[in-house]
Amino acid sequence: MSVARDFFMALSQNKVLNSGAKRWGLKLGAQSVVAGTTVEQMVESVKKLNAKGISVTIDNLGEFVFEKQEALEAKTQILAVIEAIHTHELDAHISLKPTQLGLDVDYTFCFDNLKEIVAKAHAYAIFINFDMEDYGHLEPSFNILDELSKDYDNIGTVIQAYFYEADENLQKYKDFRMRIVKGAYKEPEHLAYQDKKDIDANYIRLIEYHLLHGKFSSIATHDHHVINHVKKFVEEHNISKDKFEFQMLYGFRTDLQLELANEGYKFCTYVPFGVDWYGYFMRRLAERPQNLNLVAKQMFNKKTNTLLGIGAGAFLLGRASKRRKG
């Protein structure tokens, strides 16, 4: 498991492959888990989910943003998504990463970009979720959240269960709408749990705490054992279904997503879109390599294997890059 995780994490951080993947388009297995590359394609995907009683959170994908122009382009795109949600009356909100808006460029520049986004969303009563990234970006991201929350109430964030300090942060931000995840980055042992059993146990503790004490809990998991545990826990503690939702990724366990929505649970699908899909896709496979099987089952009726497609594509892109450099 750790070997597979390390493999996909290494791929996710490869800038050469990321750049090559943009040229390939959604051809390496991502077309079933990324809702298109344009706002128009994403809107049609969201409408289909809304028609089934499923809400969505929309992620305009972006990686390796170190230039102001790239961050400004991302801001423009996210503002367009907010306008699309309002115009089409979608049951949707926004998930974004501060690094995509310039956190690695300049803190104040990033803050100003995020404030513009949050303000526009606030005017339309649209929620904005700050996705948390690797440990090095946590403190500045939380600082921006703290500052913006003084003036806006339409923002929330994510707690990653593999961090030792997750419990402390969850208690600090318990009055925020909160997505609780296990964590998808490779972190060192002195900062984060490394063993799956420890991560899973902490994940359950965090979920239970926020269900009892938090504002609203988004429980992001594909694990039916966790889902069944939550169902039993909320019943035993008389917790209203209005206090939480289950979340899953677009394209994964679609039958279970619909089943939960039909059972009367609030359900939200995390819908990524855009040309910069590569890093997102690799991290999903690193986070839970079993996702590879889910993609394969839902994508292919032929004998093609997703891992083979990814590996072959990555290999060919790497070889092409070496030939160009040579």
Active site residues: 131, 179
Q: Running DSSP on this structure, what letter comes out for residue 136?
A: G
**CA distances in angstroms from 105 to 77, 110, 242, 283, 313, listed in the order given:** 18, 8, 39, 23, 31
The alpha-helical segments, DSSP class H, found in the chain are 2-12, 15-24, 39-50, 68-88, 107-123, 138-148, 166-172, 196-213, 224-236, 254-262, 278-287, 291-299, 306-325
For 33-55, the DSSP string reads TS--SSHHHHHHHHHHHHTTT-E
Of 292, 255, 254, residue with least CA distance to 270: 254
| Integer Cα distance of 72 and 227 in angstroms | 39
**CA distances in angstroms from 209 to 13, 125, 205, 214, listed in the order given:** 33, 27, 6, 7
**3-state class of 96 per DSSP?**
strand
**CA distances in angstroms from 142 to 130, 158, 199, listed in the order given:** 9, 10, 22
Helical axes 278-287 vs 2-12, angle rounded to 10°? 170
CB 36, CB 59: distance < 8 Å? no
